[in-house]
Amino acid sequence: MAVSLYDLSVASYLQTLGGVVGFMDKGLAHCTEKGIDPGDIVETRLHPDMLPFRFQIMSVAHHSLGAIEGVKKGVFSPPTGPDYDYKGLQKLVADAREGLQKLTPAEVNALEGRDVTFQLKDFKVPFTAEGFVLSFSLPNFYFHAATAYDILRMKGVKLGKRDYMGQMRMKTT
């Protein structure tokens, strides 16, 4: 069975974004229940030299829908944006999911073989669409999703592995 660029990217992004939506909902419920300001979580870091929860969630959105948009444009750069609050981050993830759900397999598969460059100021790394998704976008996407999950766990949110994984693509009979 051949695996398409759509299957590797959009289907994988959507699965994990579903998990992110769920664990962020649980995080907000935890804050409400415990009287914690969600802004405290937005600023939380696992380590002083790591970026905060806000950046982790921004990166999840950026390395999913933003990655496909970058492939279409031929250029992908690090995420930028406002200082989102917790609910703003939830909306960012919901918007990324919605944008990805609108993409068709034919539209994404038509991007196969395209050139895309990761660019940070004068630093440039050339990729094909497939190389970018498999060796740059997906690893970053999973790293930032796991880091956001870990921050919520560290803050006492009751989460398990299933909360992270999202809806698996199981065999249907």
What is the per-residue pLDDT across 121-173, written as a single tens digit (0 to 9) for each? 999 999 999 999 999 999 999 999 999 999 999 999 999 889 888 888 888 87
Nearest to 87 by CA among 161, 133, 28: 28
Task: Give residue 163's pLDDT.
Answer: 85
Task: Give residue 54's pLDDT.
Answer: 96
Task: Give residue 155's pLDDT.
Answer: 95
pTM summary value = 0.94
Neighbours of 161 (CB within 10 A): 8
Neighbours of 73 (CB within 10 A): 12
Terminal-to-terminal C-alpha distance of the chain: 17
